[in-house]
Amino acid sequence: MEISTLATYHCLAFVWYFFVAYSITHIKTEERPSEVFLYGGQWKYLTVLNLVLQAVFYGVSFLADVLRLIKKLRCAKCIISSRDLLFSVLAFPVSTFVCISFWTLYTYNRELVYPKSLDGVIPLWLNHAMHTAVLPFALLEILALPHRYPAKKKGLILLGFVAFLYITFFAGSLAIIISFYNFGEFLNRMIWGQSKFSS
């Protein structure tokens, strides 16, 4: 594919993902079902994080294309390496996972991932932009140009590290909840003593 065509595609994809990420983050607060956006709001959802990730990836890709067009090859080489690492380790696996896992769970029981209460809040086009279009974009990127993958061990370690960081949010929530449990037990013991209550 011509560099100018790639630059146009990457620019349009960047604008698209920026627009979608902007759209989901600007849903009016009063319209959001409280049970869906508790504890971390929408930033706890891999879907929303993936939109930001894709916008960053396509922004980096567009920058690499522009640098190649203006013949800044030394700078372009570094940006291309970053682009390929970002795509191979995060952009492709995460977008594929978001699409397949969302629609599998949605088909099984939509209340697990997208309660009916969201139908009146998130338009259908936005739902598909977040959960469906991400896979065709990822596949189109593979068809558009080759990406240099890192050594498998390095790639999997980086992917595992990012997944660990994401899971840490939930582990942190668990630690906080456990501390509240212990605090409640402490207060109960301070007020009522060591009395044995029948269960």
What are the pLDDT digits (tens) for 104-163?
999 999 988 888 888 888 899 999 999 999 999 999 999 999 999 999 999 999 999 988
Number of structural domains in the chain: 2
Tokens of 184: 């409640």
Same domain, 181 and 133: no
Q: Are 95 and 50 in contact (CB under 8 A)?
A: yes
Tokens of 139: 């596949």
Instruction: Report how far residue 110's alpha carbon sits from residue 148's, in angstroms, rounded to the nearest whole number.
Output: 37
Same domain, 133 and 164: no
pLDDT of residue 35: 53
Tokens of 160: 């595992």
pLDDT of residue 115: 87
**Is pLDDT above 90 for 51?**
yes
Read off the pTM: 0.80
Mean pLDDT across the chain: 86
Same domain, 95 and 21: yes
Could you tell me the residue range of the domain that residue 90 belongs to? Answer: 3-27+36-149
Mean pLDDT of 35-62: 82
Instruction: Report how far residue 23's alpha carbon sits from residue 159's, in angstroms, rounded to the nearest whole number.
Output: 27
Instruction: Report how far residue 30's alpha carbon sits from residue 133's, in angstroms, rounded to the nearest whole number.
Output: 27
pLDDT band for 174, please (50, 70, 90 cuts): confident
